[in-house]
Amino acid sequence: MDLHGWIDAYLDHLRVERALAKNSLDAYARDLNRLASHLATEDVKEIATSDIAELLADNVRTGFGARSSARQLSALRGFFRFLVRERVIAADVTALIDRPKLGRKLPRVLSFAEVERLLAAPDRKKPRGVRDAAMIHLMYASGLRVSELCSLKLADLDTQRGVVNCYGKGGKRRLVPVGEVALAHLKTYLEGARSLHARPDTRVLFVSPRGGALTRQGFWKLLKRYAAAAGVTASLSPHKLRHSFATHLLHGGADLRAVQAMLGHADLGTTEIYTHVAQDHVRRAHARAHPRA
């Protein structure tokens, strides 16, 4: 089997054995195919450590960021370890490659005032505005990823207990509490606006005017439109709303482990970055207000 054949076999392994989501599989495919296009050989046994090093050096020359290179190296390591387990090659050629050094990049978040304006932006006199208000409120109230939000089923929402059941990366299930305000918007949407477009067999919670699921790209576009209408000048993405959810919880004194569980982070270290954002917020407030600052 040639290199492209083994790449396909590895992607099948990730899809079946590790149950990775389509977006993650697409990212792995891009990184592995970038390696394939860089090499002059299709024989995996001929790939050397120097080939991987040259690929990473080429990334620097072409402006490929350190974070993207680190992600790519992680994908390559998984691939070559897979080849070792399958006894295709004798040793992992990425073992001696150092991971690109990353600066600690703090996530940008919205202020409380910006969130309030964003939440108030949809016109709730219109069915689409009712749906959009429910989606934005739920995302900020629960910290869901945009893919999790758009793939929610009706059965995933428990309005009695005030929780939403979502499936995150790797198909991992978690229950996330939803606040009363977001629940009120969801109930309004379910009692009227949803039935205007949903087909009888539609199981997704949030539907498009055509009756199917709203896409991630569709939600991103409507979010940017509402941000502009609300006067939120900072570039806004669904993930920034998730960052804001986590940071605002920590500002309010939430336990770090609880925030980790709500976000669905496997590693507490991933969640800890939000404590740095919160501490920075406290330092700025102290500098502005304290007479001896």
Residues catalogued as catalytic: 145, 169, 239, 242, 265, 274
Checking phi first, is residue 279 left (phi over 0); if not, alpha (psi -120 to 50) or beta?
alpha
Asked if 246 contacts 271 with a C-beta cutoff of 8 angstroms, the reply is: yes
Q: Which amino acid is at 165?
A: N
Burial status of residue 236 (CB atoms within 10 A of its CB: 0-12, 13-18, 19 or more): buried
| Alpha carbon distance 41, 146 (integer Å) | 39
In 10 A of CB 102, how many CB atoms? Answer: 11
Q: Which amino acid is at 98?
A: D
Query: In this structure, which long-range contacts are made by residues 59-66, counting pairs with CB atoms below 8 Å and at least 24 apart in sequence?
Result: 66/100, 66/101, 66/102, 66/103
Residue 271 is classified by DSSP as H
Asked if 182 contacts 137 with a C-beta cutoff of 8 angstroms, the reply is: yes
User: Nearest CA to 168 among 40, 264, 28?
Assistant: 264
User: Which spans in the chain are helix H?
Assistant: 3-16, 22-38, 49-61, 66-85, 112-120, 127-142, 146-150, 180-188, 216-229, 238-251, 256-263, 268-289
| Alpha carbon distance 45, 16 (integer Å) | 25
b/e sequence 56-81, b meaning 16+ C-beta within 10 Å:
beebeeeebebeebebbbebbbbbbe
